[in-house]
Amino acid sequence: MKLILDPCCGSRMFWFDRANPAVVFGDQRRETVTVTDRSHGREDGTRTLNIEPDFLMDFRALPYPEASFKLVSFDPPHLVRAGPKSWLAAKYGKLSQDWREDLRRGFAECFRVLDDHGVLVFKWNETQIKVGEVLALTPEKPLFGQVSGRKGMTHWLVFMKRAASDSAQGGPA
């Protein structure tokens, strides 16, 4: 049984166990990208990235019924501007010009497939869009979070989905 969904897995870069049997790794692309990048000291001056999801999927329209997962890891693309041969765009993906609606739908879908009291771990880098602009796209509020990265631009936020009975009884937020 799969308990965890990562609908934007990319190269699974932050996963310690990239083949964890409890996780459905999804992405909207399956590709191997090789780019010129002399910053990492490889003799041929290239860098290769493998995007190999278990299933192709769009985080805005997840192919699962409601309450399917206990945990969702949501690390959507965070770039709106990137060149066609950009290493960052290859690594993280690129949002469309309608990024607000894309992310609004992505949050809604991630919460839809979460079980009651399920946990959503959200990762966002503020290189081009501030985290506050993104959080305004969901009515859900994070429980806690952490800022990381060399420049303090990456945010890790944790949410918990309320059960319908919680809000009626004033239960957990």
Overall domain count for the chain: 1
Residue type, 121: V
In tens digits, what is the pLDDT along the chain, a chain of 173 residues?
A: 799 999 999 999 999 999 999 999 999 999 998 877 666 656 777 788 899 999 999 999 999 999 999 999 999 998 888 877 777 777 778 888 999 999 999 999 999 999 999 999 999 999 899 999 999 999 999 999 999 978 888 999 999 999 878 765 555 55
What is the CATH number for 147?
3.40.50
The torsion region of residue 57 among left (phi > 0), alpha (psi -120 to 50) and beta comes to beta
Contact 83, 68 (CB under 8 A): no
Query: Helices (DSSP H) in 67-98: which residue ranges?
Result: 87-92
Q: Which domain holds residue 111?
A: 4-169
Distance CA 152, CA 58 (A): 29
pTM for the full predicted model: 0.88
